[in-house]
Chain A
Amino acid sequence: AQRVTQPEKLLSVFKGAPVELKCNYSYSGSPELFWYVQYSRQRLQLLLRHISRESIKGFTADLNKGETSFHLKKPFAQEEDSAMYYCALQYYGGATNKLIFGTGTLLAVQP
């Protein structure tokens, strides 16, 4: 069965330090992975998707099929990066595609 694991509930770093939010998945098909973010008092929103291979707000994520991972990275954390980050796996079930979310990691960037 498909599953998304985010091992860290909380990650605290200082401003300017590198950040890596871990995400591992299990899925028998070809994975489509996303990172969603929820800033304080805001809605859950898409941060980036692996298929776009893009950098958003300085964040990147590389899909590693061998390690079944999709870790989110940023070289220099900013205070405004503090938020809840969810890794999500898209799979096809029924007549539509669905998302499975991890439990989320709270990133706290200290000044």
Chain B
Amino acid sequence: EADIYQTPRYLVIGTGKKITLECSQTMGHDKMYWYQQDPGMELHLIHYSYGVNSTEKGDLSSESTVSRIRTEHFPLTLESARPSHTSQYLCASSETGGSYNEQFFGPGTRLTVL
């Protein structure tokens, strides 16, 4: 079944740890996105990719990094987690082509850094 998967769903981790948030999609989409959302606030685009080996920073500056080695996989990494990274992270994907494309969202990862 075509879907977007994010793991873990919840993560509580100590300061200084390296973490990777996983995002995979079986939608066959070329474009993928990472958003960060603090409680009660809007979603902010932090990274996007329009295909394999292409990654760009989004509108909100983030200390995280991403990679796109496979079409279906778009992991986000924090080399050294800090309490300021505590947030919800949403992954999304969309088709290529057309004047507008619906973005499909994963269930999100809620990260807490102690």
A-side interface residues toward B, CB under 8 Å? 4, 9, 32, 43-46, 49, 51, 86, 90, 93-104
Contacts and interface: CB of A to CB of B under 8 A. Distances in A.
Interface string B70-114: 000000000000000000001000000001111111111000000
A9 B45 contact: no
Contacts of A99: 43, 45, 103
Interface footprint category on B: 20 to 34
A32 B99 contact: yes
Contact of B106 (A43, A51, A86, A102): A43
Contact of A46 (B45, B48, B102): B102
B32 to A, nearest CB: 10
Contacts of B44: 101
Interface string B39-68: 011111100101000101011000000000
A99 B42 CA distance: 11
Q: Is the interface of A mostly helix, strand, loop or mixed?
A: strand
B99 A98 contact: no
B100 A46 contact: no
B69 to A, nearest CB: 18
A58 to B, nearest CB: 20
Q: Which of B58, B103, B108 has the most CB of A within 10 A?
A: B103
A97 B42 contact: no
Q: Which of B50, B100, B104, B107 has the most CB of A within 10 A?
A: B100
Given A95-B56, A96-B50, A103 B103 contact: no
A61 B76 CA distance: 35
Nearest to A51: B100
